[in-house]
Amino acid sequence: MDVFDKCRHMHPAKALIDVGFNAFYRVMQSPPDAEVIADGRRMIMLGSNNYLGLASDPRVKAAALAAVEAYGTGTTGSRLLNGTLELHADLERRIARFLRKDDAIFYTSGYLANCGAIAGLAHRGDCVVLDRQAHASIVDGARLSYADVKRFRHNDVRDLERVLASCGESGKLVVVDGIYSMEGTLAPLPRIVQACRTHGARLIVDDAHGLGVLGRDGRGTAEHFGVEDGVDVIVGTASKALPAVGGFVAGRREVIEFLRYTGANRAFYFAASPPAAAVAAVREALAIVQERPALRTRLWTVTRRVQHALLAMGYDTMGSQTPIVPIRVGSLERTFELWRALSDEGIFVNVAIPPAVPAGGCLVRMTLTAGHTDAHVERVLDVLERVGKRIGLIPGGGDVVAEEVVALRASA
């Protein structure tokens, strides 16, 4: 058998993509602001994670430009050897201080931060326990650890306790998302913290979507629930509210020092260091998060308005509690139909299809930002109401999937 034989069997969505329903790899010609130029068209952006609108903030851009002038375009090495600039060390101190942890370590991406933290801290003979909807980077980090990996039902703390009890006397590491990126729901952290204490487990929270968004001061999901002291390690990213590239792990000093010097942290040791421009941008954005709480207030004003309106229209938003607002659609065909109808109206949204979601659970995923104006919101809600009625997703319109979609897929 040729190892390339599998390449001839594509995802079912590829047939739709080939006939014009191309929701992926869209070419952007502008920053990820509230309005963008995508594939040559101006659109309202509901598909980025630029929660506080800082990707084009003048201060952030100026910091990045100044860093290029001072340090060049790259470090040409890993953090361990020649790739640690004073910018990296300073940002780590600032992240730790902001999150009220002893220390922090900054990685080249959020994905690598999860892989490095989990594989660095859990080894053969330990037990890593994950939510069934854990982010792919969490799952991959657990696999790299060589520990025994177990899963519990999504946000089901009683099931988590059952799984923890089954780990026996092994070292136990629980890893959860603070905000689940597909459905926009929160992990029940107070009960998870208590379960970890009861069973002698350590807790990592991947707060990629919570940092800058949740909590009075923007420290994320743990601050939102008042359980910061109960979370041992916080993992975050610099690609969402902090708009650049990179990731971090923050925790007790001995834990972070162990990650700095353990060979099991291969995602840190063997990755090229984040460039100075990205690090400087993140540092400036972190300062703005702390200085301008009005951005977070605006984000939640927009979020609540859209959530309430969609529920009133009859959309299934899957219980979202955050600026991530999904619309459950169901079938692949109808999901792509909704995506294209919104795209034709100048609304940029994302689709989530298997394996990112269960079969039959396809959805359109929107993310809201502080940069969305009242006019943007009115336009989006008007389009969603008209389109939803037309294709039968909400009351007041048809109830049959467009024959065009099924016919095109069949002929592809």
Residues assigned a catalytic role: 181, 209, 240
Pairing of strands 243-251, 233-239: antiparallel
Residue whose structure tokens are 């600039």: 85
Contact between residue 96 and residue 317 where contact means Cβ atoms under 8 Å apart = no
CA dihedral for 330, 331, 333, 334, sign (positive or negative): negative
Q: In angstroms, rounded to a whole number, what is the distance separating the alpha carbons of residues 412 and 410?
A: 6
Q: Do 12 and 355 touch, CB atoms closer than 8 A?
A: no
What interhelical angle do 403-411 and 332-344 show, nearest 10? 110
DSSP-assigned letters across all residues of 27-74: PB-S-SSSEEEETTEEEEE-S---TTS-TT-HHHHHHHHHHHHHH-S-
Q: What percent of the residues of the chain are helix, what percent strand, and what percent coil, each to the nearest 5?
A: 45, 20, 40
Q: How many CA atoms lie within 13 A of 355 on its CB side?
A: 4
Question: Which amino acid, one-letter code, is at 170?
Answer: S
SS3 state of residue 179: strand
* CA angle, residues 360, 366, 368, in degrees to nearest 5: 155
Backbone angles phi, psi at 329, to 5 degrees: -115, -55
From the number of C-beta atoms within 10 Å of its C-beta (0-12, 13-18, 19+), residue 351 rates as: buried
Distance CA 55, CA 239 (A): 9
